Amino acid sequence: MTQVLVPIACLGVAALVSACASYHALPLPRRPDLAPDLAALVRVLPPSEAGSQPQTIDPAKPLEIDQIGLLAILNDPDLRSERGEMDVARAGLIQASLLPNPSSSLGYAALLGGPGTTAAYMASLSQDVASIVTYQPRNEAARAHVDQVNADLLWREWQVAQKARLLAFDLYWTDRSVELNRHELDLISEEAARVQAATSAGNLDITALAPLLAAKAAAEQALASLNLKRLKNWQALDALLGLMPGARFAISQPAEPPLPNDLETLIEGLPDHRPDLVALQLGYHSADANVRAAILGQFPAFVLGGTWNSDTTNVKSAGPNITFDLPIFNRNQGQIAQTRATRLLLREQYQSRLDSAIADIHGLVAQAARLSEDLVQARQAAASAESLAQAARAAYRQGNLDQRSLTDYLTTALQRQLEIVSLERSLGEDRITLAVELGLGLPQARLSPPDRMTSQ
C-alpha cells in the first residue's frame, strides 16, 4: 500500500506546483509619459458599429470640441487606471465563481509491536456544502459588480470628455473676447494719447484725461484676467489630453447644440442610458444578491465526506463523515444586517442621484431658455450700437463729431459684442452640459485607453 500512496502523493504535489502562478517584476516608471503635440497622441477611434472602419483624428486640422473630448478619453492619464480597475473586478468574479477545494487526508501507521499483523492506513475526502448553497447569489453579486465597474468607468470617461469639451469651448470664446478687449484697449489708448497731448499743449483741461485713464486701466485689467484665464484653461486641457504643458492647437468654431425636442421622453429613459444611474442600479442588484447570500448563509457550516480505514488487524471500514456547526450563537445575523443596510444605502443613493439629475436637467433647460431670450436682446442692442458707430464714423469724417465722442460710440459697440460673446459662451456651456446630463452625444461603450506598459 505504501508503494501506491507515495507515487500518488508525488503526482499530487507535482500537479499543484505546475498550476501555481509565477512571479514577474513590474518596475515603476521614472519618467513622465506626456506627448509633445497632438500627432504623438492616440488618435484612432475604435469602430462605433460592427463592420465599420476605425476613424483617425487629423491633428493638422482645427479640432471640433467633440473630437477633443474623444481625444481626452483616449489619452487622459487618470483614465489609464481603467484597465487595472476592470482587472480587479474580473478577479473578484473569478474568485466568486470558484468553489472551495475538497479536503483530503491520508494516514499511515507502521506496526511496531502488539497483536496486530499489518500497518494501519487511513484516507478521507470531504467537501464544504455550505459554500455550494450560497454559490449562485455570490456569483450573481460578483457579475453585477463587474458590470457596475464598467458603467462607472464609462461615466468617468463621459466626465473627462465633458470637461475637455467645456475647456475647448471656453478657450474658443475666450480668444474672441481677448480680440475684442484688445481692440477696445487700443481705441482707449489712442484717445488717451491724443487727450494727453492736448492737455500738455494747454488745449484741454487735465480733468478730461482722468476718465480715459480709468477706462484704460479697467480695460488692461480685463485683458490681463482673460489672458490668465486662457493660460489656465490651456494648461488644464493639456493635462486632460496627456500633453506637455505649453502644447497648443487650433480649435474650430463650436456649433451651438440644439435643445432636444423629446425632453420628457429622454428624462423618462434616463435610468436606462445614463452610465452613473446604470452603475448605481447594478450596485444595488449586487447588494441585493449579497442579502440573499447572507440569508442562505444561515445554513450552518456543513462538511460532507467519507473515510476509509484499515487497522493493524487488517480490519477495513468505510463510511460517511458529517461535520456541522450548531447555530446557537451565530446565525449570520451580523452579515445579514450589514448587507441589508448596504442595500438600503445604495437604494437611497440611487434615488438621490436620480432626483438630482432630473432637477439639474430642468434647471439647465430653464437657464438655456433665459439665456436665449437675453441673447436675442443683446444682438438687437449690438446691432443698434454698431449702427450708431457707423453713423459716428460718417459724422467724424465730415467733421461733425469729435474724436472722443467717436471713441465712446466705438467702445460701446465693442462692449455690446463682448456681451454677446459672454452670453453665447454661457448658452453653449449649458447646452453641452445638458446633453451629458441626458446621456447624449458621447460613446455608449467605453473607449479603453491603450495599455502603455511595456511589461507585466
pLDDT for position 454: 38
C-alpha cell at 261: 425636442
Q: Are 404 and 195 in contact (CB under 8 A)?
A: yes
Q: Are 124 and 318 in contact (CB under 8 A)?
A: no
Q: What angle do CA 261, 263, 264 make, to 5 degrees?
A: 130
pLDDT for position 448: 62
Q: Give residue 203's Cα distance to chain centre.
A: 65
Q: Are 143 and 293 in contact (CB under 8 A)?
A: no
* pTM for this predicted structure: 0.79
Plot region of 446 (φ>0 → left; ψ -120 to 50 → alpha; else → beta): beta
pLDDT for position 311: 83
Q: What is the rounded radius of gyration, in angstroms, for the C-alpha atoms of the chain?
A: 37
Q: What SS3 state is found at 55?
A: strand
- Counting as low any pLDDT under 50, the low residues of the chain are 1-2, 4-5, 452-456
Cα–Cα distance for residue pair 245/452, rounded to 1 Å = 20
Cα–Cα distance for residue pair 166/436, rounded to 1 Å = 11
In the numeric block, the cell 499530487 is attached to: 12
Q: What SS3 state is found at 48?
A: coil
Instruction: Give bridge partners of residue 121 from the DSSP assignment.
Output: 108, 310
In the numeric block, the cell 465597474 is attached to: 149
Helices 333-397 and 275-296: crossing angle, nearest 10°?
Answer: 170
Ramachandran angles phi, psi of 285, nearest 5°: -65, -40
Cα–Cα distance for residue pair 446/439, rounded to 1 Å = 14
100: CB partners within 8 A, 6+ apart? 127, 128, 131
Q: What angle do CA 108, 114, 119 make, to 5 degrees?
A: 20
pLDDT for position 330: 77
Q: Give residue 218's Cα distance to chain centre.
A: 40
pLDDT for position 456: 35
Q: What SS3 state is found at 43?
A: coil
C-alpha cell at 56: 483617425
Q: Are 59 and 39 in contact (CB under 8 A)?
A: yes
C-alpha cell at 42: 492616440
